[in-house]
Amino acid sequence: MQLEGLHHITMITADAQANVDFYAGVLGLRFVKKTVNFDQPDAYHLYFGDEQGAPGSILTWFEFPGAAKGRPGIGMIHTIQLGVPSAASLDFWEGRLREHGAEPHRDEGTLRFEDPEGLAFELVVADDGNPPLRAEHPEVPAEHAITGIEGARAYSAYDGVEEKALTDVLGFTYEGGGRYRLQGRERHVHWAYDPAPPHHGRQGAGSVHHIAFASQDEDHLRWQARVGDAGGYVTGVQDRDYFRSIYIREPRGVLFEIATMSPGFAVDEDPEHLGEQLRLPRQHEHLRSQLERELRPVVNPRAAKELA
Ligand code: ZN
């Protein structure tokens, strides 16, 4: 039994439309699902990814309109690494991000930037085995398109000490220096702990809420049992419609999720039209007229293009 690398990473935004404009508009990801937070249906849950919304490509946001800015601290993810095909792609993104008002910094084979709410990203050349997971965007040539999520870094005390809950229970490989690799059959993801800053973190706009690793559907309950048997905290199985989830609080404080690979985002929408209409889970469908009235409208650029 092995985890299949990353599934998705979930953040908080104060402004859903500005979020869509940046991730679908500037970064060229596909806006694959517009739904609500299943546990709090008056808040949006937006999903972005490659053309199919494949596990390993997915970034998601809960919207809390007007939320104060967050700040990463101990036990929180502070940087997300996205893959690009080549060093020439870093040049392309340096120019494109600057044109759109971001302030990218080039540094030894990486390009660092922040999203409009201060969330830190690193573009890295993805040359160690992940098959590309691309979206199509008229202004982003395929040879430079983002190829999926390569890794994430969190703050921790004891950052350089091997975390056995990761290696012995979840199957990560420790590479030393606080760095880990989780290798699945097709994809892998890099994970690392850095020394925590001398201040408390705060959840809020531009902060990461949790990270989800991918499980084969048939292994999901066995992962739940395995974490429980190891003395870890693990939740019951939650049906998220597009996947099933369990949540784990790893010992350094980061909220981990293990999500199934299927059924995926085409379960309730035509693959040609992902993310164009508000989709609600069955248990919240009766709230539709109220939610459509109260949620601020969010326009998917692809749907807008067809209307034009
Ligand atoms: Zn999640």
Q: What is the pLDDT of residues 31-73, one digit of tens each?
A: 999 999 999 999 999 999 999 999 999 999 999 999 999 999 9
Report whether the peptide linkage leading into residue 263 is cis, meaning its omega lies within 30 degrees of zero: yes
| Whole-angstrom distance, CA of residue 201 vs CA of residue 142 | 37
pLDDT at 303 over 80: no
* CATH number of the domain residue 243 falls in: 3.10.180.10
The answer to whether residue 257 scores a pLDDT higher than 70 is yes
Q: For residue 138, is it within any domain?
A: yes
| pLDDT for residue 308 | 57
Cα(212) to ligand 1 centroid in Å equals 6
Q: How far is CA 288 from CA 41, 112, 268, in A?
A: 10, 40, 15
Q: Is 137 within 8 Å of 50 (Cβ atoms)?
A: no
Measured in Å, residue 210 CA sits from the centre of ligand 1 at: 6
Residue 198 identity (one-letter amino acid): P
Q: Tokens 């040359």 correspond to what residue?
A: 127
Residue 168 included in any domain = yes
Of 37-41, 83-87, 146-150, 193-197, the range with the lowest mean pLDDT is 37-41
Residue 11 covered by a domain: yes
d(CA 259, ligand 1 centre) in Å: 7
Grade residue 307 by pLDDT with cuts at 50, 70 and 90. low
| β-pair type (244-249, 238-239) | antiparallel
Question: Distance, CA 95 to ligand 1 centroid (Å)?
Answer: 32
Ligand 1 center to 104 CA (angstroms): 28
DSSP reduced 3-state for 262: coil
The answer to whether position 225 is within a domain reads: yes
Rounded distance between C-alpha atoms, residue 145 and residue 82, angstroms: 10
In the block, residue with structure tokens 């008002």: 101
Q: How far apart are CA 260 and CA 268, in angstroms?
A: 17
For ligand 1, the distance from its centroid to the CA atom of residue 45, given in whole angstroms, is: 10
For residue 102, the cross-strand partners are: none
Q: Quick one: how far is CA 164 from the chain centroid?
A: 24
> What is the whole-number distance in angstroms between the Cα of residue 306 and the centre of ligand 1?
30
Q: What is the pLDDT of residues 66-97, one digit of tens each?
A: 999 999 999 999 999 999 999 999 999 999 99
Distance CA 157, CA 75 (A): 8
Gap from CA of 92 to ligand 1 centroid (Å)? 31
Is residue 20 within 8 Å of 46, Cβ to Cβ?
yes
Whether the model pTM is above 0.95: yes
Phi, psi angle pair for 166, to nearest 5°: -75, -50
Q: Exposure string (b/e) for 61-94, b if CB count within 10 Å is 16 or more?
A: bbbbeebeebbbbbbbbbbbbbbbbeeebbebbb
> Is 1 part of any domain?
no
- Distance of CA 58 from the midpoint of ligand 1 (Å): 10
| Distance (Å) from CA 211 to ligand 1 centroid | 7
Please tell me the distance between residue 35's alpha carbon and the centre of ligand 1 in angstroms: 13
The answer to whether the beta carbons of residues 49 and 57 sit under 8 Å apart is: yes
What is the domain range of residue 171?
Answer: 6-307
CA of 9 to the centre of ligand 1 (A): 7
Sheet with 110-114: strands ordered across: 105-107, 110-114, 120-125, 77-84, 149-156, 188-195, 179-183, 173-176
Number of domains forming the structure of the chain? 1
- In this structure, are residues 245 and 212 in contact, taking their beta carbons and an 8 Å threshold? yes
Strands 120-125 and 77-84: parallel
Using the mean position of ligand 1's atoms as its centre, give its distance from the Cα of residue 30 in Å: 18
Q: How far is the CA of 103 from the centre of ligand 1 (A)?
A: 29
Rounded to the nearest whole angstrom, what is the distance from the C-alpha of residue 76 to the centroid of ligand 1? 15
